[in-house]
């Protein structure tokens, strides 16, 4: 009897840590590969925005709100138009009547997060931004724990640490290569802006995950386009009127603005699809490679110095991302004992555990998230 009790305890601890007896085929599934590839597509789109911003900065143009405004207008024209053709509760007018304040808060968080992180480049170093921007991940996990009732296993925390080690390698490579670190005019203010943007991004991402998994990604993106256009339009009129007036518009500058807007449009359109498959935390882990892709582009476009640490960093982040997605999170139901929830998983086949985006887990997360929110 004592041995059986001890075995049960060991089994529960093993499950809590996520230490299942997987074989290679169980872990490296087509779904996991697709998740990795889709996450890297998002990183490439962010890389496109970074390259566009760099060229605009080199041309003496610093209009972050105008750049975001073009993106929100595109989202408004496409997705709000789709919503306007729907009937019943899914129509844009009905959505605005019943949920306007929720999407206003989401739009405000999203717009100000974008503005704060771009503004931070004027005050603090690139290293600080790269490191502090990772603060979004623990904030996301904390918000997911309380509001979406997501529960993580030990391996998920280990995976996050592995990804952050990859970021550390990337920052180390920048320092060794003596890459231009940008402004240091007010480091405290700049670092504060980065932390603020991380918190706002986390709030926006949690709202996005809840919306796309329970309602519709078209509704979310359409409302972001509507309120994002409204908020960013007012803000650029207040803050960037003079900066816009002195822009010398030509084909080159116009193409840079268009490239930035299209990359952002693709990011906002594609991210909800990936988030529905995985979750906000997994998506942000995959986005850690965006800076690396920007660095690789910089090797050819801006004469950056190559370092082998960049390759090591990319590999480490990808390994951490695989670790995080190979074992699913679970949703804690109010009436369930967490140990029993964990123990209940052991009766399932190992293939049923792979990825938090599997259909059974999504169905449970949906019901719980609705009840919680």
Residue 363's pLDDT is what? 41
Tens of pLDDT, residues 349-366: 333 333 334 434 444 444
Give me the residue label for tokens 């499950």: 15
pLDDT at 232 over 90: yes
pLDDT at 69 over 90: yes
Tens of pLDDT, residues 78-93: 999 999 999 888 899 9
Residue 188's pLDDT is what? 84
> Does residue 360 contact residue 352 with C-beta atoms inside 8 Å?
yes
> Does residue 166 contact residue 313 with C-beta atoms inside 8 Å?
yes
Residue 355's pLDDT is what? 37
Q: Which is more confidently placed, 259 or 368?
A: 259
Q: What is the DSSP string of 295-352?
A: HHHHHHHS-PPP-HHHHHHHHHHHHHHHHHHHS--EE--TTS-HHHHHHHHTTS-GGG
Residue 151's pLDDT is what? 87
Give me the residue label for tokens 């789709």: 82
Q: Which is more confidently placed, 183 or 257?
A: 257
Closest CA to 312 of 176, 198, 126: 176
Q: What is the DSSP string of 222-238?
A: HHHHHHHHHHHHHHHHH
Q: Which two tokens stand for residue 269?
A: 């359109």
Tens of pLDDT, residues 111-169: 999 888 888 877 877 667 777 788 899 999 999 998 888 889 898 999 999 999 988 88
Closest CA to 224 of 285, 286, 281, 269: 269
Altogether, the residues listed in the chain come to a count of: 373
Can you give the C-alpha Rg of the chain in angstroms?
22
Phi and psi (nearest 5°) for 150?
-80, 135
Distance, in Å, from the CA atom of 255 to the CA atom of 263, rounded to the nearest integer, reads: 12
Other beta carbons less than 10 A from residue 9's beta carbon: 11
> Does residue 104 contact residue 164 with C-beta atoms inside 8 Å?
no
> Does residue 98 contact residue 160 with C-beta atoms inside 8 Å?
no
């Amino acid at each position: 009897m004592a041995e059986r009790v001890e075995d049960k305890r060991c089994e529960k601890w093993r499950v809590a840590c996520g230490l299942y007896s997987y074989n290679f085929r169980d872990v490296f599934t087509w779904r996991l590969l697709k998740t990795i590839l889709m996450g890297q597509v998002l990183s490439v789109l962010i890389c496109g925005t970074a390259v566009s911003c760099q060229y605009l900065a080199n041309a003496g143009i610093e209009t972050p709100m105008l750049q975001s405004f073009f993106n929100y207008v595109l989202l408004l024209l496409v997705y709000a138009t789709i919503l306007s053709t729907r009937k019943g509760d899914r129509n844009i007018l009905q959505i605005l009547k019943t949920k306007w304040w929720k999407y206003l808060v989401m739009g405000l968080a999203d717009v100000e997060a974008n503005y704060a992180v771009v503004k931070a480049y004027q005050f603090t170093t690139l290293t600080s931004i790269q490191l502090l921007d990772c603060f979004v991940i623990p904030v996301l996990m904390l918000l997911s724990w309380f509001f979406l009732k997501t529960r993580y296993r030990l391996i998920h925390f280990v995976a996050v640490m592995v990804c952050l080690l990859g970021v550390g390698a990337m920052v180390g490579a920048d320092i060794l290569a003596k890459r231009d670190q940008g402004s240091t005019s007010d480091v405290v203010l700049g670092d504060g802006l980065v932390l603020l943007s991380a918190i706002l991004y986390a709030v926006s991402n949690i709202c996005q995950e809840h919306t796309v998994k329970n309602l519709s990604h078209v509704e979310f993106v359409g409302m972001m386009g509507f309120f994002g256009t409204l908020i960013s339009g007012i803000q650029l009129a207040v803050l960037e009127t003079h900066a816009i007036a002195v822009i010398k518009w030509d084909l080159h500058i116009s193409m840079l603005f268009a490239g930035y807007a299209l990359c952002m449009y693709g990011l906002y359109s594609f991210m909800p699809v990936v988030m529905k498959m995985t979750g906000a935390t997994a998506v942000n882990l995959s986005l850690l490679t965006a800076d690396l892709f920007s660095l690789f582009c910089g090797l050819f476009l801006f004469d950056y110095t190559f370092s082998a640490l960049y390759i090591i960093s990319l590999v480490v982040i990808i390994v951490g991302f695989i670790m995080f997605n190979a074992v699913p999170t679970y949703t804690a139901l109010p009436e369930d004992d967490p140990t029993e929830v964990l123990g209940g998983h052991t009766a399932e086949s190992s293939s049923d555990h792979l990825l938090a985006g599997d259909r059974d887990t999504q169905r449970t997360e949906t019901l719980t998230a609705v009840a919680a929110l």
